[in-house]
Structure 1
Amino acid sequence: MKKIGMYIALFGVLAIVLPFFELQLRLLSWIDNWGETTSWIIKIGLIVVGGILFFMASKNETNVTNENQGE
């Protein structure tokens, strides 16, 4: 889950940054068809959801490691 969260957040950041360089990810080009406001909401949502997945997986790995050391 940690890698998936990292990739989702990375796609969100790239979707925000690349248009400033006249570039766009083909995978996420459909986002701009819904208008500017909706596009920004989806891009920021990708970053937030990716960050949540990344940090929840990190916390879960730490808890599993601590439980295994106690045995």
Structure 2
Amino acid sequence: MKSIGGLMLLLGLGSFVLHYMNMEFKLLMWVDNWGPTVGTAIRVGLIVVGGLLWFVGNKREKAAPAT
């Protein structure tokens, strides 16, 4: 869960920055199909959900007993 969350967080932040430089990740070119407002909402959603998944995964990793 931590790695997927980290990837989502990284892609969301990178896409957010690249969008304002008139560039985009090829994987996320579809987010602006419904307009710039929806595209920004999708990017923010990726950042929030990715951050939450990373945080929860990190917490579980620390709480798991070492074997």
TM-score (norm 2): 0.89
How many pairs align? Answer: 67
The CA distance in 2 between the partners of 1:21 and 1:31, in whole Å, is 16
Cα distance between partner residues in 1 of 2:55 and 2:36? 29
Deviation of the 1:21 alpha carbon? 2.6
Instruction: Supply the AA of the counterpart residue of 2:24.
Output: Q
SS at match of 1:34: coil
Higher helix share: 1
In structure 2, what is the equivalent of residue 32 of structure 1?
32
1:23, distance to aligned residue in structure 2 (A): 1.6
Stretches of structure 1 lacking an aligned partner (at least 5 in a row)? none
Query: 2 CA distance for matches of 1:63 and 1:24?
Result: 37
Opposite residue 31 of structure 1, the aligned amino acid is V
Superposed displacement of residue 22, structure 1: 2.7
* Structure 2 runs not aligned, ≥5 long: none
* Mapped partners of 1:20, 1:41: distance in 2: 14
Deviates more, 1:13-22 or 1:27-36: 13-22
Runs of 4 or more above 2 Å deviation: 19-22
How big is each residue's C-alpha offset from its partner over 1:7-28, in whole Å with a ceiling of 9 and x where there is no partner?
0011101111112333211110
| 1:13 equivalent in alignment to 2:18 | no
The one-letter amino acid paired with 1:45 is: G
